[in-house]
Amino acid sequence: MPLSQRSTLTQFLIEERRRYPEASGDFNALILDVALACKAIARSVAFGELGGVTGNHLAPRAAGMATAPLASVNAQGKVQKKLDVISNEMFLRANEWGGHLAGMVSEEMAEPYAIPANFPRGKYLLVFDPLDGSSNIDVNVSMGSIFSVLRAPAEVASGHRKLTVDDFLQPGTEQVAAGYAIYGPTTMFMLTVGSGVHGFTLDPNLGEFKLTHPDVMVPTETQEFAINASNSRFWEPPVKRYVDECLAGKTGPRGKDFNMRWIASMVAEAHRILMRGGVFLYPRDTKDPSTPGRLRLLYEANPIGLIMEQAGGRASTGRGPVLQVQPQGLHQPIGLVFGSKMEVQRIEQYHDEPLPLKRADFETPLFTERSLFRS
């Protein structure tokens, strides 16, 4: 389709709004503010070292400190990159002033961000990971921003009471919209407002997102899976069984060869799966028995989960739909499996009916006790 005939993100949102005559337009304006933040982040990412944005963000030096300041950490104890902090600030500044939000939650902040008193409050809440996969900036690999929109309680939106943590603890089924931006060879903005998933590519000449991938659907079957194999010794039996079967290839129980991928950027993994199918696993394991997973439910698992479900895929904890999990905290970790529906359902089945680890029909030499790698 010629560029001149492609809808912009603004035009797309206006068309969607026409389906709801009672809508005020606040929601459209909010999504456009989020898109503006993503454009600004894309520009910073594109400059890389030329823009002085690579490397770790350093904590402020304390008075009288003789040694060099250390890298700062976020609410989860993760080392912050310069771009983590810059991206978080861009999200806050782009979205705090418009009167569409009652508050925000970010991976980079321990507590909710209440809209400053000098700005009007709105009826929505925004939760986001401002730069997923930020460690990839130093090696020039794709990364992205993830966001989710929730409804704020009426008394919070009207200003009759203060914003609290509990206001954000809504299951993924309550999301009004979700999306992500991916900063790669091109910048894309993937969005669902509850009527499928649509992809927009940033036109650098116009500075506009243009609709290039309408009604994206995840293939139901696949021959690709993504998992961090370095954690294999900590996997639960159902996950180990699934991976071993995939690695067994044509001679194994699956009867076909699989390719394994791992980018260490969930946005990049999700985008590949949307474009050509696949399954992503960051499951619960025994590495840290005190936590049920590594990814964050509110601003990582839920928005990606909604996108996958709207595109005909499936998102799960490994045991059941992730969107039905009731959040217990802002930064609650969780195990996550998403992608092609048939594969996710198979992994859920294996959790329901786990088999012993050692079975000749799916055992491979890579992850067994007598492995290819000798100690």
Predicted confidence (pLDDT) per residue in 348-358, tens digit = 999 998 565 55
The answer to whether residue 369 is domain-embedded is no
What integer pLDDT is reported at residue 367 of this predicted model?
Answer: 54
Query: Do 7 and 110 share a domain, yes or no?
Result: yes
Query: Do 206 and 244 share a domain, yes or no?
Result: no
Query: Do 130 and 28 share a domain, yes or no?
Result: yes
Domain with 107 in it: what CATH number?
A: 3.30.540.10
Q: Residue 25: exposed, middle, or buried by beta-carbon count in 10 A (0-12, 13-18, 19+)? A: exposed
The count of domains in the chain is 2
Over the stretch 238-270, which tens digit does the pLDDT of each residue have? Answer: 999 999 999 999 999 999 999 999 998 999 999
Q: In whole angstroms, what is the distance from residue 221 CA to residue 90 CA? A: 38
Give the list of residues 6+ apart from residue 138 with CB closer than 8 angstroms, or none.
Answer: 54, 55, 81
> Which ranges of the chain have pLDDT less than 70?
1-4, 57-58, 60-72, 75-77, 354-375
The answer to whether residue 144 is domain-embedded is yes
Residue 150 is part of which domain span? 3-213
Give the list of residues 6+ apart from residue 187 with CB closer than 8 angstroms, or none.
Answer: 38, 39, 42, 181, 201, 202
What integer pLDDT is reported at residue 375 of this predicted model?
Answer: 44
Over the stretch 267-287, which tens digit does the pLDDT of each residue have? Answer: 999 999 999 999 999 999 999
Query: Do 7 and 152 share a domain, yes or no?
Result: yes
Query: Do 74 and 193 share a domain, yes or no?
Result: yes
Query: Do 244 and 209 share a domain, yes or no?
Result: no
Domain with 288 in it: what CATH number?
A: 3.40.190.80
Query: Do 199 and 236 share a domain, yes or no?
Result: no
Query: Do 91 and 239 share a domain, yes or no?
Result: no
Query: Do 340 and 257 share a domain, yes or no?
Result: yes
Query: Do 292 and 148 share a domain, yes or no?
Result: no
Query: Do 180 and 234 share a domain, yes or no?
Result: no
Report the predicted TM-score, pTM, of the whole model to 2 decimal places: 0.90
